[in-house]
Amino acid sequence: MPNAERFMDAALAEAEAAGKRGEVPIGAVLVVDNKIVARSGNTTRADHDVTAHAEISVIRKAAAALGQERLTGADLYVTLEPCTMCAAAISFGRIRRLYYGAEDPKGGGVDNGVRFFSQPTCHHAPDVYSGIGEREAARLLTEFFQAKRED
C-alpha cells in the first residue's frame, strides 16, 4: 500500500474511534520522516473545547513531543477538509504537505469557504492533496449524523 494511503488509514482509524466516543468522526495523523509522530481524533466534547479539532490536537501533540513550535517538513493527514481555524493553524505550524479525505463545502477553509492558503494574509501554504480515503471518510460522517438524527 502506498504511504499516503497507509497514513490516511491511520487517520481514518482515529476518526472511527472518535465516532465511537460520541465525537464527530474526524481523525488526523502527523508524519515526520515517514513516521507518525502524533495521532488524534476530535475531542471537542470530551475536552469541552471547541478548538480540540483533530488537526489542532496533532499539531499541539507533535510540537510538544518534538519541543519545537514550527513543524517544517511535517505532513498532516486528516479525514475531512480542514476548517478555517485549522487551515490557519496548519499555516502557522509551517506544515509541508496537507492530505485530506473528503471535501467540506459547509465548513471547509482550504478548497471551500475562505480558501485560506490563497489569501494574502496567509504567509505559508502547504502543498494540498485531496480525495485519499474520501469515500470512507464521508461514510463515517454520514452514518454518524444519520444515527444522531434517529436518536
Contact 101, 78 (CB under 8 A): yes
How far is residue 18's CA from residue 109's CA, in Å, rounded to a whole number?
Answer: 22
119 binds a copy of itself, rule: CB under 8 A: yes
Q: Phi and psi for 76 in degrees, rounded to 5?
A: -110, 130
Instruction: Output the smallest distance, CB 129 to a copy of itself, in A.
Output: 21
| CA atoms of 9 and 117, how far apart (whole Å) | 25
| Interface with a copy of itself (CB under 8 A), residue from 101, 109, 126, 133 | 109
| 124 appears as a binding residue in the annotation | no
Among 64, 131, 145, 147, binds a copy of itself (CB under 8 A): 64
Does 86 carry a binding-site annotation? yes
Residue 59 makes contact with a copy of itself by CB under 8 A: yes
The H or E element spanning position 35 is: strand 35-41
State the nearest-atom distance from the C-beta of 77 to a copy of itself, in Å. 18
Q: Can you tell me whether residue 37 is helix, strand or coil?
A: strand
| Residues forming the active site | 55
> Binding site for Zn(2+), residues?
53, 83, 86
